[in-house]
């Protein structure tokens, strides 16, 4: 009975956080500090940093899978915690950049434009989907429900890796159009 209550508490937390993060990010994405009378310099230096953070996240995720396949649970746990921390750092930098800077328009034309928007749309959609998956996967590991953890991790890992890698690709594709 206590275990079921614990599952319910975490389930409610996961649902709330999974809804709150995309909603807050969407709202803050459209808030410009200059429009609120806050005199702040654009944080135009952040995109290459948060793109690098995405790349490091991808590497950490792969290293974590290798660690667990080699039976190194402690290293796997540390790497997964680091991947979550990197994702949170990315999100904070991403929101800070967009609150201080105008959005950059993609300037490519033709097929590359279609490719860019296909990658961008899937990246955004899956970055929302991944939130509850990461939280559920992490909570199952913390609760030592390793069979359930492993089952959902097989879904979580490739989606999270895709989001991290496509974050870098989106940056590389749009970076020539940044105004400096």
92-117 per-position pLDDT tens digit: 999 999 999 988 999 999 999 999 99
Please report the domains of the chain, with CATH numbers, ordered by start residue: 2-177 (1.20.120.80)
Q: pLDDT tens for residues 58-69?
A: 999 999 999 999
- The C-alpha atoms of residue 135 and residue 84 are separated, in whole angstroms, by 9
Where are the alpha helices (H) located in 30-110, listed in sequence order? 46-69, 73-100
Model pTM score: 0.90
3-state secondary structure 12-29: HHHHHHHHHHHHHHHHHH
**132 within 8 A of 22, measured Cβ to Cβ:** no
- Distance (Å, rounded) from C-alpha 134 to C-alpha 128? 11
């Amino acid at each position: 009975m206590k275990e079921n209550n614990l599952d319910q508490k975490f389930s409610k937390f996961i649902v709330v956080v999974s809804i709150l993060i995309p909603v807050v990010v969407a709202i803050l994405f459209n808030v410009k500090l200059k429009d609120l009378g806050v005199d702040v310099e654009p944080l135009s230096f952040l995109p290459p940093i948060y793109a690098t953070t995405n790349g490091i996240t991808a590497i950490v995720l792969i290293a974590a899978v290798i660690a667990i396949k080699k039976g190194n649970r402690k290293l796997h746990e540390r790497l997964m915690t680091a991947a979550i921390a990197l994702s949170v750092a990315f999100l904070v930098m991403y929101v800070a950049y967009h609150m201080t800077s105008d959005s950059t328009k993609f300037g490519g034309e033709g097929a590359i434009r279609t490719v860019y928007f296909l990658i961008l749309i899937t990246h955004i959609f899956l970055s929302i989907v991944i939130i509850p998956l990461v939280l559920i996967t992490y909570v199952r590991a913390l609760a030592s429900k390793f069979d359930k953890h492993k089952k959902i991790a097989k879904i979580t890992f490739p989606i999270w890796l895709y989001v991290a890698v496509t974050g870098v690709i989106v940056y590389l594709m749009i970076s020539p159009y940044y105004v400096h």
